[in-house]
Amino acid sequence: MTAPGHDLPSGQDIPSGNDVPPTCYRHPDRETWVSCVRCGRHACPDCLREAAVGQQCVECVRGASSGGRAARTVFGGRQAAGAIVTWTLVGINVLLFLVELAKPSIGTDWGLLGYASYASGGPVQGIAAGQWYRLITSAFLPPATGLGGLGFMDILFNMWALIVVGPSLEQLLGRARFVAVYLLSALGGGVAFFLLGPPYVLALGASGAIFGLFGAWFVVARKLRLDVRGIVVIIGINLVFSLIYRSTIAWQDHVGGLIVGAVTTAAFAYAPRKNRTVFQAGAALLILAIIIVIAVLRAHHLTSQLGLQP
């Protein structure tokens, strides 16, 4: 299959047949359908330069290399070289996986659990019992099944996907927006499982956040008029596997992360240029507020229905 972030035409508009051909912003006499992936302006081949992600106009390239005002991506984020956030997330996930191998109980203590008791007559554990941190800590821990089990395959796939998709998204969105998409997707996936999954089942893994990045890449690719077939295939295959093996895979987490990642990125990508940063921040806070409200309502429902049970 085609991995997202590879072999995709960058900044290429698709004419509908009736569109008036745009012209280069520096050479008005030259028609071009190609645009800079950072500022979105159309430019002819003489005014474009190959970059780590797609093609950029000469002014954006010059701005990124100068010591002046920080350049902005096409979605309003601050342009930054490298993929520091992506590799930091990979490092945190791998480190906690190793810690979990040495101390498997951390998965029980930090995993996604709705509302249950680990032992008959024991204290009630879970999100509805006030352990809200489980919604985010569970997204950084795979199932504790050792190097030869499901946990190793889970972190192997998730980190591969993060390395493939993350750097491109980080450069296109900017670091702050990329972190927002990742964490909101992780929370959205966790809350979806909390809402729809059995409250007594423990769930672990970064799949909600990873599916959120899949959704984010789809939105970004559509916005930049790139080929989305590769990411659609990846999303489709993984959703099918999630539903086939629903007894061992938290499909709710996958779907929730996918939806939140796509919606958050859409708010970033299609924000109006006027007061764009304010709009994007407000949209992210609104999405976070909705996630919190759903979690609180679900917790209230569980405690009212099950709180008196032993």
Q: Which amino acid is at 117?
A: S
Identify whether the C-beta of residue 4 lies closer than 8 Å to the C-beta of residue 222: no
- Is 300 among the catalytic positions? no
d(CA 213, CA 217): 6
**Euclidean distance between CA atoms 178 and 195, whole angstroms:** 25
CA dihedral angle for residue 284, residue 289, residue 291, residue 293, rounded to 10 degrees: -170
3-state SS class at 12 = strand
- Rg of the chain over Cα atoms, rounded to whole angstroms, equals 22
**CA proximity to 230, closest of 5, 10, 59, 35:** 5
Known active-site residue 42: no
**Nearby residues of 238 by Cβ (< 8 Å), 6 or more positions away:** 211, 214, 254
Task: Please list the helix, strand and coil fractions of the chain in percent, rounded to the nearest 5, in that order.
Answer: 55, 5, 35
Specify the residue for token string 């296109």. 172
Could you tell me if 211 and 185 are in contact, meaning their C-beta atoms sit under 8 angstroms apart?
Answer: yes
Q: Which of 207, 247, 301, 304 is catalytic?
A: 207
The residues assigned a catalytic role are: 207, 254
